[in-house]
Structure 1
Amino acid sequence: MASGEGSRQWSSLPSNLIHLISTKLPDLSDRVRIRSVCKMWKSSVSVSDPSPCLPWFVSCDMDRSDEIVYYSLSSKKTCKIHFPQQRNSYFLGTAGGFILSCQDSSSESISLFNPLTGLEISVPNPKEFEEFSVVSNPFQKDLLVILGNILDSDETFVGLIRPGDEAWVIRRLDMMLYEGVCLWYDGMCFINEYGTPTWTGDATTRSILSTVPPPPRDSRPMSPRYMLETCGQILLIFTHMTFIDKLEEIDFTIYQLNKVGGTYQWVKIRGIGDRMLFLDYVRSFALRASDFSGFRGNCIYFYKDDFKRLRLLLCRHDLETGTTEVLPNFSGKWSTWMIPNLSESN
C-alpha cells in the first residue's frame, strides 16, 4: 500500500458511519480523539449528540488550586485540567456540563464554567443568600436550582435562574431545613425533613398539594440525605454510618413514593434494578446501567472522606450483596459529579 493511501481510505469512510460509531463511544474523551483524526471526521461527529454519557467525578486538586482533577468511570483513569481562572474556588454543583463555583469560600463571586471548553458564564451575585448548594440535576441546562438559607433569617429558600437572567427568582419555603432534602421536578417541589411528613407543593404558587407520612424510623442512626426522580419515580435515600475498628462503614436504605390505598406512602425497596445512583455531598441522580457496556445496575456510586490521609475515596456500593468497594486512582476536594459537555453554550 503506497504512503498516504491508508489515510485517504480512512478519510473516505461514509460520514454517517463515523457519526454512528461516535454515538456508541461511552466516554467523551473518545469523541474528542475521533474528532482529531481529520477535518471530515470532525465535521461528522457532533459535540452535542444526546447519546448517553457516563458522568465524571470532578474535584479541585489537593495540592494545586488551579487544577481540576476528574475521574472517568469509562476509562477508569484520572486526568487533570489546568484552569487558573478557578484558583482558590470551590464547587457547589454542576448543570449541563458546567460547574457552579464560588471564589474564596464565599458567595461574593460565583460563576458557571466548562472545564473542557474554557467557557465561563457570569451568574448574578446572590448577596442575601448563604450556605447554598445546587439541587438541580447535572443534566439540566435550561434551569439552575439552588437550595439554601437567607442571611440573618431562619428561612430556607429555593433559588432559580435561567441562562441570561439578571436576577434570581426566589421561592421561600415555610420551613427550616436542618437535615432535610429538596427535589425540584416537573413543576413540583418535594421537601423532606427527617422524622416529619414530606411536603409536596406547586413550585410556582408554593401551595401545599399533599403531605406524605414519614417513613418508619430505623434502629440505626440515619438522615435523609438524598431525594431524586428516576424513571418517573421519586426515591428517598437514607445513609447510615457506623465505625468498625476505627473504619467508617456506610450503608443505605431506599424508599419509593407509591400510591397505596388512594394515598401516597414511602415504601421501602430492596433494590433499584437496572439503575445506577450517583451521590455527592447533597445531590443525586440516576442512569440506566444497560445504556453502558460493562456496567451493572443496583449500585450506588458515592464518595467519603479519608481523614487520616486527607483525601476522598470514590466508592461503589452493591445493594444486592451489601458490599462496598473503593474505586482506584482518585483524591481531591470540593468534589461533585459532572456530565461532560463540549458544547460552547449552556
Structure 2
Amino acid sequence: MGEPPGRTERREAGGTAAAAEEYRWTQLPPELLPLVYKKLPDSADFVRFRTVCRAWRDAAPVSDPPPQLPWVVERRGSAFQARAHFRFYSPSSGRTYSVRGYGGRSWLVVGGACQEHLVTTVDLSTTALYNPLTGDRLALPPAPYPQWRHGVVHVVADAGRWLVVNTSTKTRHFGYCRPGDTKWSLVDGRHDMRHRAYHGGRFYVNTNAQETLVIDASTGAVDSVLPPPPRSAGGGGVSCSDYLVESRGKLIRAVLFPRDGVVAASAEDYYVNVYQLEEGQGGKAAAWAKVESVGDRVLFFDKHGHGFSLEPNDAAELRRDCVYFMHEKRTWLDAGEYRFLCRYSMEDGEVDRVVSLPDTFGDTWVVPGLCPSE
C-alpha cells in the first residue's frame, strides 16, 4: 500500500534538516573544540561531548578529559554486603552517578597508574582490579589472608606500572602484588604500622610513634627507621592525620594538627605541616625536612591516609600550593554527620571549605578515567 501524499516529502525534509544541523556542528573550527570540552564540569559531560559526531570525538581523546575535582565514593556497608552498583558524587557538577559493579564488594584504589580503579571481590578470595567507567578488569592473585575483608586497598605507581597494596586493619601488616604475580608478597613487620607510601623500590610506613619504617619491597626487611619530623614553633599539639604521598619523584609527608594543640572544633581550626624526604648523602642519614611550599602541585588525601598529587587548574578549583583534605563531624543533636572537602593554603595557612559532601558519601575518592588498563 502506497504512502499518503506528502509523507515522503516531509520525511526527507526532516532528514535533510537533521543532516544540515549535524553538518553545521562538524564544521566548528577544530581548535575551538578543546576550549569547549575543557570547561565541562566532569567526565560524564565529556562522554556526551564525544558522542555528538566523529569530528568532536576525534578532537577529544579519552586520555585528555576536562579538569575536575576527584569524585567521592559512597561509603561501603558491611563486609558481606552485596553491591550491584557503585555510586559516585561529582563535587564539580553536584551530580550523583550509579555505575554497574563487578563482584560483591569494593574498595577504592587511588594513586599511581591506576588511580581511577576499584578493587572488587566476587567472594572473599577472588579479586580483580576494575575500572567502573570502562568495565575494564584485571584479575589479581587470591586473597593473601582472611583479614582481606577488613583491609584497605590502594594502588601506587611502580616504574610506570601498578602495584596493589592491601593492609589488614586488624593486624596492621600488609601484602602487595605487581602485574603477573601469582601470589601476594607479605610484610608482617610490627603491629603499630599505619599509613604507607611506595617510593623508589621501598615502602615508607609511619608508625603510631610517628617514626617511619623504610622497608625493602624485594625482601620485606626493614632497612632503617626515620625519626619523627621536626615540628614548627608552637606546633606541639597531637596530630589528627598523617599522610604520605609521592609527588613528582619526591616523597611528601603532610601532618594535620589542631591549631590550639588539643582539638579542632571546625575545619578552619586545622593547620598542616608539610615535610619532604631528604635522602642521606655524605654519611648523613635520610630525614624529614620541613618545607613551606609544594610549588605548582596540589596534594589530595582521603580518610585512610592515602593521597595523590595533581596539577592545579581553575576549572576544578584545584589551586596550586594547596593541600586538600576531608573534614567530618558528628552532630549529636540530630544524630547526623556533615563533611566537607577542605583546602589548606600553604601560602597563607588559611583553610577554606570547598564543597559540602552528601551524608552517605565520604572517606575515599576516585579520579575518573576512561583509558583501559595496560
Report the more deviating stretch, 292-301 or 34-43. Answer: 292-301
> Structure 2 matches for 1:56-71, cutoff 5 A?
56-60=70-74, 68-71=86-89
Partner of 2:247: 230
Does structure 2 retain, via aligned residues, the 8 Å contact 1:317–1:325?
Answer: no
Report the Cα distance in structure 2 between the residues aligned to 1:239 and 1:293, rounded to whole angstroms: 23
> Structure 2 matches for 1:296-307, cutoff 5 A?
296-307=319-330
Structure 2 CA distance for partners of 1:277 and 1:197, relative to 1, 3 Å: same
Partner of 2:10: none
Does structure 2 retain, via aligned residues, the 8 Å contact 1:96–1:139?
Answer: no
Does structure 2 retain, via aligned residues, the 8 Å contact 1:97–1:341?
Answer: yes
Structure 2 CA distance for partners of 1:171 and 1:70, relative to 1, 3 Å: same
> Structure 2 matches for 1:173-188, cutoff 5 A?
173-178=188-193, 180-188=194-202
2:341 to 309, 314, 318: 314
Partner of 1:11: 26
Unpaired segments ≥5 residues, structure 2: 1-15
Partner of 1:193: 207
Structure 2 CA distance for partners of 1:141 and 1:125, relative to 1, 3 Å: farther
Q: Secondary structure at the match of 1:234?
A: strand
Greater gyration radius? 2
> Structure 2 matches for 1:205-284, cutoff 5 A?
205-206=219-220, 209-216=223-230, 219-222=236-239, 225-241=242-258, 242-243=262-263, 249-259=269-279, 262=282, 263=284, 264-282=286-304, 283-284=306-307
Letter in 1 for 2:319: R
Does structure 2 retain, via aligned residues, the 8 Å contact 1:230–1:286?
Answer: yes
1:267 positional shift:
1.6
> Structure 2 matches for 1:1-346, cutoff 5 A?
3=17, 4-13=19-28, 17=31, 20-21=34-35, 24=38, 27-49=42-64, 53-60=67-74, 68-73=86-91, 75-83=92-100, 85=102, 89-94=105-110, 95-101=114-120, 107-108=124-125, 110-130=127-147, 131-137=150-156, 142-149=161-168, 156-162=173-179, 165=180, 167-178=182-193, 180-195=194-209, 197-206=211-220, 209-216=223-230, 219-222=236-239, 225-241=242-258, 242-243=262-263, 249-259=269-279, 262=282, 263=284, 264-282=286-304, 283-289=306-312, 295-308=318-331, 309-319=336-346, 320-333=348-361, 335-345=363-373
Unpaired segments ≥5 residues, structure 1: none
CA deviation profile, 1:187-232 (whole Å, cap 9, x unmatched): 2222232436433343223455554332236521116621111122
Report the Cα distance in structure 2 between the residues aligned to 1:249 and 1:102, rounded to whole angstroms: 39
Report the more deviating stretch, 224-233 or 256-265. Answer: 256-265
Does structure 1 retain, via aligned residues, the 8 Å contact 2:115–2:155?
Answer: no
Structure 2 CA distance for partners of 1:167 and 1:313, relative to 1, 3 Å: farther
Report the Cα distance in structure 2 between the residues aligned to 1:188 and 1:19, rounded to whole angstroms: 43
CA deviation profile, 1:8-63 (whole Å, cap 9, x unmatched): 1322456x6477557845643342122111134334432234x6744522322799
Calculate the TM-score normalised by the size of structure 2.
Answer: 0.72
Does structure 1 retain, via aligned residues, the 8 Å contact 2:106–2:120?
Answer: yes
Does structure 2 retain, via aligned residues, the 8 Å contact 1:129–1:149?
Answer: no
Structure 2 CA distance for partners of 1:18 and 1:144, relative to 1, 3 Å: farther
Calculate the TM-score normalised by the size of structure 1.
Answer: 0.77
Does structure 2 retain, via aligned residues, the 8 Å contact 1:62–1:331?
Answer: no
Letter in 2 for 1:338: V
Structure 2 CA distance for partners of 1:214 and 1:244, relative to 1, 3 Å: closer
Structure 2 CA distance for partners of 1:155 and 1:271, relative to 1, 3 Å: closer
Aligned residues: 334
1:77 positional shift:
1.9
Does structure 1 retain, via aligned residues, the 8 Å contact 2:268–2:352?
Answer: no
Structure 2 CA distance for partners of 1:201 and 1:82, relative to 1, 3 Å: closer
Does structure 2 retain, via aligned residues, the 8 Å contact 1:312–1:332?
Answer: no
